Amino acid sequence: MWHTQQIEVTGKGHILNSIPCQDKTYTLCENGVTAIALADGAGSQPLSHYGAMCATKTICRVLCDKFDVFSTVSSPFDMKQDIILAVQNEIKQKAYELKSNIKALSCTLLAVAVKGDKYLIFHIGDGVIGFQKEGKILVASKPENGEFANTTNFITSKNAILNAKVMRGTQSKLEGFILISDGCENTLYEKQKEKLSPILKVLLERTEMLKSEQSQKMLNEIMSEYISANTYDDCSIVLMSRKNGRFADIKTMTQNEQAVLFGVTTQNRNKRRRMIRRLKKAYMLLS
């Protein structure tokens, strides 16, 4: 079972200029598949938030409908092509409704879908896709910029098929996935080292352990106090965690097992007990 959380925050720069949030997120659970998506509308295009909304909904639907096909198709290129065509067709239709063109609805697109231990990943443009495996936060797909400085690639471009990345596989030890928009990168992603911030480990693990309302409240607080406060850009995050993962049976664990789980290494029993209690309190696990 996979659990999701998402948040979109309008950047201070957009608020000052009365521009709507151009980041859009979406999640969908159908056919035994859980799909998450994030799109960032092009800042220079006035209708890009419509394109971002359209892109996230479309890719989640396609991934849920065709997960088994995409997992077994001989060439990942076919998966890439099907996704791009489906998303572009929906955005073209939206552009027609708005009496505009597809360029005005330009956006990047990140998505992950899981079914059991199998996963599918799609990424074009900036933003970062991360994952957690055995307690470690790692980068699955790094940002891809365009040909020139301060530019990126869009799902709506003619060369989308060349610039998009797709990945697929099976991994039983996966504990979660993270999608972050470029507005979050300064705080959550160290570009030179291609490393994600440890705070994302906390976010994922709390999403796994807590009830939906608690984890959403925690995500809102971290976003407003720690992330969006440091940028004028829109910020968005989507989390997906395995609900029956490492923390599922914490109440039945021995103190030694809890010490391993929380990374407490001291051999002093009293100190270890206090450290575990503090960590459980931080994770709101004390009954």
Region 164-192 average pLDDT: 92
Distances, alpha carbon 148 to alpha carbons 57, 85, 120, 155, 234, in Å:
29, 25, 29, 17, 22
Q: How confident is the model at residue 247, as a pLDDT?
A: 62
Coil, helix or strand at residue 210: coil
Task: Report residue 49's pLDDT band, with 50, 70 and 90 as the boundaries.
Answer: very high
Phi-psi region of 172 (alpha: psi -120 to 50; beta: other; left: phi over 0): alpha
Report whether 124 contacts 175 (CB < 8 A). no
Q: How confident is the model at residue 237, as a pLDDT?
A: 95
Range with the poorest average pLDDT among 5-14, 154-163, 165-174: 5-14
pLDDT in tens, 16-44: 888 888 999 999 999 999 999 999 999 88
Question: What CATH fold (topology level) applies to the domain 2-241?
Answer: Phosphatase 2c; domain 1 (3.60.40)
* pTM metric for this prediction: 0.87
Give span(s): CATH 3.60.40.10, the chain: 2-241
Q: How confident is the model at residue 287, as a pLDDT?
A: 57
Region 81-94 average pLDDT: 98
Q: How confident is the model at residue 11, as a pLDDT?
A: 85
Residue type, 208: E
pLDDT of 147 strictly over 60: no
What's the rounded Cα separation, in Å, for the pair 33 and 238? 16
